[in-house]
Structure 1
Amino acid sequence: MRILVTGGAGKVATSLRTRLAATGRVLRLFDVVRPAGIEGAGAEEVVLGSLTDPDAVAAACRGVDAIVHLGGQSKEADAGEVLRANALGTYHLLEAARREGVTRIVLASSSHAAGFHVRDDDTYPDGLPAGVPPRPDSLYGWSKAAVESLAGLYADRFGLDVICVRIGLWFATPPQNRGLATWLSLDDGARLVEACLSAPSPGFRIVWGVSRNTRRWWSLAEGEAIGYHPKDDAEVYAAERIAEFGEPDFEHDPELTRVGAWWCDWPLAQRMG
């Protein structure tokens, strides 16, 4: 099985590479720069190019069985940049996948596509559903909402199986107090990607990229429906985080009760700085 990983030189892809390694599996890494530490014996391949170049994307998709799409703009930027890198880049990828007959795609969306949704335990006692309508908190989040919409189009029109992951904080350890609720561990991130790759005929889905955190208030039901069963809990870091940042209030603090946290408040110029 050959899996194309876009953004192959990035931090998330780097953490996934060893975790996705398996007998009979080849990872094709696509990025504008060469990833470090390429494995030998054909376990990894490199294709250099940009998501904004449709010919390069088409070449990267040739002969692959599935795609894990991590590439694009990962931070706030002006509208032209986030739409070019994320929306247009994803269009090039989905179109190339369709033409090449690649039907299984995992797309990195973001919690910021739903940033203005708030914690509501009365309405959602099992956690905020992953498929709540987009409420982006930034131009970056808007571009990720566009990616989700485009993925739905390709699933409905062309029958692709596309799972969009609204990623929380995908780090080795949970950053800040917010991470006590929204952390996605490196191992759980790999478990989630594996579930997305192996779920039978998922069609179009949206799932949260989050671990089984004690203070989590996002739903795990959508992930569990495709076989994602996270094992890690940010609570093991709670004492350390509270000592550094103070006791968090996940019921009233708007930085902790909104999906997008402070992204909902920052002036655009500050977010872009």
Structure 2
Amino acid sequence: MTARILITGAAGRVGTFLRARLASPDRVLRLLDIAEQPPAADGERVELVRASVTDPAAMEEACAGVDAVIHLGGHSGERPWAQILEVNIDGTHTVLEAARRQGVRRVVLAGSNHAVGFYEKSSGEAGDYLFPQPDTYYGVSKAAMEALGSLYASRYGMDVLTVRIGSCFEKPKDVRMLSTWLSPDDAARLFEVCLSAPSPGFRVVWGVSDNTRRWFSLDEARALGYEPKDDAEVHAAEVIAAAGEPNPLAEEYLGGAWCGPNLDTAVREAGR
């Protein structure tokens, strides 16, 4: 039987990584974004949808006939509160509600390490269900995403999994990412098990590779069946030579420089 998977934010970096890696002959990927997307490649089974996660009617239509949703859509960095509220928080609610109305039983949410960015690294390994300590409005939106996912799992019996993504890039870009890196291939492995694990209910898992320097638990992800194969350490010499030593804030808090004054959005918006 052919499975149909809706991916929101499909034109973004992580969505682009997953599009190439989640494709299979028995799967159709319905790819939704506000941006234009490349047409289907030879042998690729995709349906392209141009719409916003903030549009309830469009999202309900996009959820029709799908087996699962991977929700990546939203702002991927810090923004003013009004933008975060509209797109990241209200948008996540719109996606979950559209999935519920269309009878979609599984939603995988792209969370972030910034939901717990003010966790002090000296406290030890960051557990899978570490209580939220967001470092930015963006981080608040990811904590809200987890709360909404929990609500929809508990009240409606949906399977909702939140992946607290570390840093998903082709290669780690700085010394901090030697700990937080999620390789594109490992991202696909993790999202695959989130799609296929039997009756997971509500889960929060860390989205990182098996990095030598990682700060995060992989227990819950491995319990789902995730077997990471990559380690940022293979890039360590190159990264350290290019980027030098990390900002001291990156050593104090899990969120690194996101905990610093340059991302104090409330003060910047108020001017005081």
TM-score normalised by the chain length of structure 1: 0.92
2:64 paired residue number? 62
Counterpart CA distance in 2 for 1:192 and 1:257 is: 28
Write the mapping of 1:1-273 to structure 2, written as runs, cut at 5 A. Answer: 1-39=3-41, 43-120=45-122, 124=124, 127-247=125-245, 253-267=248-262, 268-269=264-265
Residue identity in the other structure for 1:172: E
Partners of 2:249 and 2:260 within 8 A in 1: no
Partners of 1:119 and 1:257 within 8 A in 2: yes
Deviation of residue 257 (structure 1)? 4.0
CA distance 1:168–1:42, shift in 2 (3 Å): closer
Deviation of residue 245 (structure 1)? 2.6
Counterpart CA distance in 1 for 2:8 and 2:105 is: 16
CA distance 1:26–1:93, shift in 2 (3 Å): same
Q: Deviations over 1:179-222 (max 9, x none)?
A: 11000000000001001001111111111110000001111111
Deviation of residue 248 (structure 1)? 5.7
Counterpart CA distance in 1 for 2:38 and 2:254 is: 33
Aligned residue for 1:56, secondary structure, equals helix
Counterpart CA distance in 2 for 1:202 and 1:152 is: 12
Aligned residue for 1:2, secondary structure, equals strand
Deviation of residue 254 (structure 1)? 3.2
Counterpart CA distance in 1 for 2:268 and 2:128 is: 25
Partners of 2:179 and 2:212 within 8 A in 1: yes
Question: How many residue pairs were aligned?
Answer: 265
Deviation of residue 39 (structure 1)? 3.0
CA RMSD of aligned residues (A): 1.8
Deviation of residue 40 (structure 1)? 5.2
Residue identity in the other structure for 1:210: V
Partners of 1:169 and 1:175 within 8 A in 2: no
CA distance 1:147–1:32, shift in 2 (3 Å): same
Partners of 1:242 and 1:248 within 8 A in 2: no
Residue identity in the other structure for 1:255: A
Partners of 1:263 and 1:271 within 8 A in 2: no
Partners of 2:5 and 2:27 within 8 A in 1: yes
Residue identity in the other structure for 1:256: E
Counterpart CA distance in 2 for 1:178 and 1:49 is: 34
Counterpart CA distance in 1 for 2:260 and 2:175 is: 18
